[in-house]
Amino acid sequence: MGLITPVSRGVPETKASIMNGVRGIGPVTLFPVPRGRSLPVGEIHGSFEMDGLPRTHQFALIAAEEAMADSSDAPDAIVIGGTTGGMALTEEHLKRGDTSRELFKYHATGSVAEYLAARLKCRGPVITVSTACSSGTAALKVALEMLREGRARNILVGGADSLCRLTYYGFNALQLIDPAGARPLDVDRRGMTVSEGAGMLLLEGKDKVPDNAIAEILGAGLSCDAYHPSSPDPEGTGALAAMRAAIKDGCISASEIDYVNLHGTGTIDNDLSEARALDRLFVEDKPLLSSIKGAFGHSLAAAGAIEAVISAMSISDNFVPGNTGCKTPDPELRLNPVIEPMESDIQTVLSSSFGFGGNNASVVIGKPKKEGAAISSQGPSHLTIVGCACITGAGKTRMTEKAFSEGRSCKGILPDREVSKDLSPKTVRRIKRLSRLALSLAIAAHKDSGESDDPNSLFFGTGWGPLSNTYDFLTKLYESGEHFTSPTDFIGSVHNAPAGLLAIRFRARGSNITTTGGDYSFEQSLMTASLLTKERDDLILVVGADESHEILSGLFDDSVSGDQTPSDGGGAICLRRADTPSGLRLLPTFFEYSKGNPSIILSLIDSLGGPAKIKSKYGALLAGIPGSLRERGRDQLSQFLEGSGFGGPVIDYRRLTGEFASASAVAAVLAVCFAREGKIPEGLCGKKSSSLNGKGILIIGLGKFVTAVEVIT
C-alpha cells in the first residue's frame, strides 16, 4: 500500500498521524484567492522534485512507488480513479493565455494512469475510472473483477487527485464548504473540505493467501441513485444498495462488519443520506464507525482509495480512526461515531464512497483467510447486441452509415438542433453538448433495440469529458477576478455528468461507470461492462462520446490539432448477457500498452487464436489509427497483417469519421451495421461489395495502446 495525504506521507507515518489526532486542514496556498474568499483545504505541503509534472501525477507516483516497493515485477494492469488529472496546471496556462500544446500534454484525467504505466513498465490494460468522488472505490471493484476472471495476476489500483480552482471554487459555488473545516456527523456541520492526495494498493489474485498479505478485498458493490446530478437520494437507497451488494459479493453478513469507514463528507445532505442507509443496513446494533474526512479533507477520486488503505491498516494494526471535527453528534443521524482514535480488534471493514451523478461504491475488506477464493480460468463471455446508434458530422446512424458505406467523409460537427431532436426543450436548456450527444445516442440505441424495459447498467467512455462546461466555468471565474462562477457548469464539468443524466433518464440503478483514456476510452468502457455485468438478461448500455471545442480540443488532443476539419460524435450499443449465444455478439478481447512492449502485435495475434483462427473468424478489419500516432499505427497494422496473413477488407476508419477520441464507438456501431447486412459495402472495398460469409468483424485500435473488439455471430 502507498499513501500521500495532507496529514502525512507514507503508510507508517499515516498511522502515527491518525493516532496523534493530526488535522491536515488549513488555508489554501497553491493559488491566490480574493480577499475574504479563503476557505480551508486539505493541502499537501513540501517540495516536489518533478518540475512540469502536475501535482496529481506526482502524488500518484509517490503512493505507487511505496505500494510497489517490495515487488520486483511490473504490475499486470493499472486501474486508477481520477477526476482532475492535470487540471491545476491547465488552469495556470489557460489563465496566462498559453497556447503551446506541449504544455497541456498531462491535462487528461487518463494521463495519470498512463504516466504510472510508463514509469512502472506495465504492459497490460490501463483503465481510468472517473465517477467523481466514488472513483477510487469503483476502481477497486473493476480491479477485483479483473483478478477474479484471471485477466491479471497483480494489479496496481488506487486514486489520485490534486487541488485546483475548478474544485475549490466549484464546491464553494454550491455552498458545500464548511468555513470551519469539515465536521462529519456533527450537529453543527456546514459542509466539506476539499482536499488532495493519493492512495494505492497492489492487489494479487491467488488461490492461496501469500505470506505478506496485509488484508483481503472480500467484495465490492456498485449502484446509482438515478435521482439528481449532484444531490444524493435523501433516503440513501442507492448507498444502501451498494453496501448490500458489497456484503453479498464478499459472502458475509452485515453482522460480521466490525468497523464502517464512512464516506462522511460533513455536508448536511450527504451525512443524512448515508446515516439512513446505515440505519436500514444494520437492523440491530451498529458496528464501530467514523469518518476520516474531518482530518484528511475530501480528496475526491482519491478519497475511496485512501480510505481503503486506512481500512486495511485498521485490520492489520487493530485500530479505529477518530471522527475528527465532530464534537456533538447530530441526534437525527442516529449514529455514534468513534470520536477519538482507539485500539480494537478489527476483522472486517465496510468502506463506502458516493459521488456526483448518484454514483455509489462500497468495498468490504477483511483479514486474509487461510484459503483464498479460486481464480477463474474462464475467458470473458460474449454480450449479445440488441441495438445501436451513432452520430458524426454526416448525421445520425442512417446518414452516417450511408456516407461511410460510400467512402464519403463523415467529418464535421452535427448542429446542436439535429443532435437534440429527440430531447425535450427543458432538457436541452439545462445541458451542454457532450451530455446532449450522450443522451441522444442512448435514446436512439435503446429505441433501435426494440426492448420494452430500460437498461439497468450504464457504461460511458469519453476521452476529454464535458469541455464546454469546463471552459465556461473557468472563463466566468477568470472574468470575475475569481469571485464568481457557475455552479451548473461545475456540476456539468465532471466526466461522469452525462452518465448520471442517462441514469436519471432510464431510471438505471445498477452499475454506472465512466472511463476516460483518450482514444481508448470507449474500449475501456466495453471492458468494464464485460467485467461488471454478471446478471443474465440485464439490459446494458455502453456509450462513447466526445465533443469538439473550438479552443480546448486543439490544445488537449494532438490528433485534433492535425486535422483541418473539427469533428465530434460517438456511438452507443445496447447489450444483453444471455444464457445462450444468439444473434450478433460483442467482446473486447485485447488491451495492452505499447510503450516498451515490442512484441505487442504478436501478443494480439496470439490472443485472437493465431493466423488460421483470425482468417477463419473475421471477414473484415476496422483499424483505428489516431492522427498524431499515424506512423506508429501504420507500422503496427503492417505487422498485424503480415503476422496474421489476414487478406480481407481493411478500413482505416478515422480517415472518414474524423479525429475525436470516441471515434472507435462509431466504428463499433458501423461494424454492427455491416455484420447485420452480412457484407462490407462497395465504397469501402474499391470493388464490388465483399461478403462476410458468416464471419465477424474485428475492430483494432492502434498507437499508444493496442486494443481489439470483435463483432461476431
Percentage of the chain exceeding pLDDT 70: 97
Give the pLDDT mean for 701-706.
Answer: 98
**Residue closest to 489 by CA, chosen among 500, 481, 497:** 497
Q: Is 387 exposed, middle or buried (0-12, 13-18, 19+ CB in 10 A)?
A: buried
Q: Which residues pair with 360 in a beta bridge?
A: 223, 354
| d(C-alpha 572, C-alpha 565), whole Å | 23
Give the pLDDT mean for 215-234.
Answer: 95
| d(C-alpha 352, C-alpha 222), whole Å | 10
Q: For the segment 596-626, what is each residue's pLDDT rounded down to a tens digit?
A: 999 999 999 999 999 999 999 999 999 999 9
Place of cell 471493484: 141
Residue 324 has pLDDT above 80, yes or no: yes
**Residue closest to 463 by CA, chosen among 532, 531, 524:** 524
In degrees rounded to 5, what are phi and psi of residue 555? Answer: -75, -40
| d(C-alpha 257, C-alpha 49), whole Å | 42
When pLDDT is cut at 50, 70 and 90, the band that residue 382 belongs to is confident
Give the pLDDT mean for 248-273.
Answer: 97
Element (H, E) at 27: strand 26-27
Q: For the segment 156-209, what is each residue's pLDDT rounded down to a tens digit?
A: 999 999 999 999 999 999 999 999 999 999 999 999 999 999 999 999 998 888
What's residue 377's pLDDT? 46
8 Å CB contact between 64 and 201: no
Place of cell 465504397: 683
Q: For the segment 642-692, what is each residue's pLDDT rounded down to a tens digit?
A: 999 999 999 999 999 999 999 999 999 999 999 999 999 988 987 777 899
Give the pLDDT mean for 460-480.
Answer: 97
| d(C-alpha 705, C-alpha 127), whole Å | 11
Q: For the segment 390-413, what is each residue's pLDDT rounded down to a tens digit?
A: 999 999 999 999 999 999 999 999
Q: Which residues pair with 237 in a beta bridge?
A: none
Element (H, E) at 396: strand 395-396
Element (H, E) at 569: strand 569-576
Kindly compute the dihedral angle of the four CA atoms of residues 221, 222, 223, 228, in this order, to the nearest 10 degrees.
140
Residue 254 has pLDDT above 50, yes or no: yes
Element (H, E) at 259: strand 259-261
Written as one letter, the residue type at 554 is: G
Side-chain-facing half-sphere of 356: CA atoms under 13 Å: 27
- Greatest alpha-carbon pair distance for the chain in Å reads 78
Q: Is 424 exposed, middle or buried (0-12, 13-18, 19+ CB in 10 A)?
A: exposed
Vertex 124: Cα angle to 535 and 511 (nearest 5): 25
Query: What region, left, alpha or beta, does residue 604 occupy, with left being phi > 0 and alpha being psi -120 to 50 degrees?
Result: alpha
CATH number of 383-712: 3.40.47.10
CA 282, 286, 288, 293 dihedral sign is positive
When pLDDT is cut at 50, 70 and 90, the band that residue 579 belongs to is low
8 Å CB contact between 5 and 14: yes
Residue 481 has pLDDT above 70, yes or no: yes
**Residue closest to 129 by CA, chosen among 119, 121, 138, 120:** 138
| d(C-alpha 587, C-alpha 581), whole Å | 12
Place of cell 477483511: 366
Residue 460 has pLDDT above 90, yes or no: yes
Q: Which three cell numbers stand for residue 526?
A: 466495453
Domain with CATH 3.40.47.10 in the chain: 2-366, 383-712
Angle between helices 301-317 and 11-19 (to 10 degrees): 80
What's residue 538's pLDDT? 84
**Measured CA distances, 118 to 64, 114, 143, 200 (Å):** 12, 6, 19, 16
Angle between helices 521-532 and 135-148 (to 10 degrees): 70
- Tell me 35's DSSP state: T
Mean pLDDT of the chain: 94
| d(C-alpha 191, C-alpha 182), whole Å | 6
The answer for residues whose C-beta is within 8 angstroms of residue 12's C-beta and 6 or more apart is none
The per-residue DSSP string of 571-626 comes to: EEEEEE--SS--S-EEEEEEEEE-TT-TTHHHHHHHHTT-HHHHHHHEEEEEEE--
| d(C-alpha 460, C-alpha 228), whole Å | 18
Give the pLDDT mean for 9-35.
Answer: 94
8 Å CB contact between 202 and 75: yes
The answer for residues whose C-beta is within 8 angstroms of residue 55's C-beta and 6 or more apart is 44, 48, 88, 89, 162, 163, 196
| d(C-alpha 536, C-alpha 577), whole Å | 5
Residue 584 has pLDDT above 80, yes or no: yes
Q: Which residues pair with 460 in a beta bridge?
A: 514, 543
Q: Which three cell numbers stand for residue 217?
A: 478485498
Place of cell 456539468: 492
- Tell me 565's DSSP state: S
- Tell me 208's DSSP state: B
What's residue 372's pLDDT? 52
Q: Which three cell numbers stand for residue 315?
A: 485490520
What residues are labeled active site?
133, 263, 298
8 Å CB contact between 315 and 366: yes
Q: Is 479 exposed, middle or buried (0-12, 13-18, 19+ CB in 10 A)?
A: exposed
Query: Which of the residue ranges 191-195, 420-424, 705-709 would you say has the lowest mean pLDDT?
Result: 420-424
- The verdict on domain 2-366 having CATH code 3.40.50.1100 is no
| d(C-alpha 350, C-alpha 309), whole Å | 12
**Residue closest to 399 by CA, chosen among 640, 707, 100, 669:** 669
